[in-house]
């Protein structure tokens, strides 16, 4: 889908915040794959992990990613783990212009350390967990990305301006 923009990156990279504003300015309909899963199931992501495990969540995520990436004129903020599945990566790549919002594990940690809504962060060493996830997933984000945009220390407006100049 030519006009679509798809944001990928780890938890805390700013996919939802940036995505919402970018969608408004580019006149695209904003979707957040996690929110769509929550709306469809009527429960939060932590409850899905609790009842169905990560595997169950990934099944739901795959269905939603396939559905949303086939829609026209959308801006999609994907869940941080959506790139794990090859099928999702194919849908994401074919779905539009893919932007990887890139940040260090330390910056990501600062943004999400008080947020309890992410089951994968409920570990005894969440910073280390983020480092491990980043190491494992970075090649996958890079594989699907058309554009790479740093979102470390930058303010939202600076990131948005950076995206406009690169689009
Ligand atoms: C996950 C990221 C979350 C959510 C789920 C799993 C991940 O989305 O999909 O908790 O595997 O990185 P955000 O990246 O929007 O936080």
CB of 48 closer than 8 Å to CB of 41: yes
Q: Give dist(CA 118, CA 34) in Å, integer.
A: 11
Question: Which residues, judged by CB distance below 6 Å to any ligand atom, belong to the binding site of ligand 1?
Answer: 11, 15, 34, 45, 79-81, 118-120
- Protein residue closest via CA to atom 15 of ligand 1: 79
Residue-level pLDDT at 152: 87
- Protein residue closest via CA to atom 4 of ligand 1: 79
Q: Is the ipTM of this complex over 0.90?
A: yes
Mean pLDDT of 2-31: 95
- Protein residue closest via CA to atom 16 of ligand 1: 11
Measured in residues, the chain has a length of 167
CATH code, domain carrying 63: 3.40.50.300
User: Total domain count for the chain?
Assistant: 1
Point out which residues pair with 150 in neighbouring strands.
Answer: 102
> Residue 51, Cβ neighbours under 10 Å: how many?
11
Residue 166 Cα to ligand 1 middle (Å): 26
Q: For a pLDDT cut of 90, what percent of the chain falls above it?
A: 93
Task: Say whether pTM exceeds 0.95.
Answer: yes
Q: 77: domain range?
A: 5-166
Q: What is the pLDDT of residues 81-130, one digit of tens each?
A: 999 999 999 999 999 999 999 999 999 999 999 988 999 999 999 999 99
């Amino acid at each position: 889908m030519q006009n679509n923009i798809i944001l990928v990156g780890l938890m805390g990279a700013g996919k939802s915040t940036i995505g919402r504003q970018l969608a408004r300015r580019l006149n695209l309909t904003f979707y957040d794959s996690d929110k769509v899963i929550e709306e469809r199931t009527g429960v939060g992501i932590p409850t899905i992990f609790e009842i169905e495990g990560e595997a169950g969540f990934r099944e739901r995520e795959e269905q939603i990613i396939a559905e949303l990436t086939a829609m026209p004129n959308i801006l999609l903020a994907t869940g941080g783990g959506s790139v794990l599945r090859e099928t999702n990566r194919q849908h994401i790549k074919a779905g539009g212009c893919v932007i990887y919002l890139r940040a260090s594990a330390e910056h990501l940690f600062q943004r999400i350390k008080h947020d309890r809504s992410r089951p994968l962060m409920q570990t005894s060493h969440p910073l280390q967990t983020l480092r491990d996830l980043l190491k494992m997933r970075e090649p996958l984000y890079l594989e699907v990305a058309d554009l790479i945009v740093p979102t470390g220390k930058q303010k939202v407006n600076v990131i948005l301006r950076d995206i406009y100049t690169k689009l």
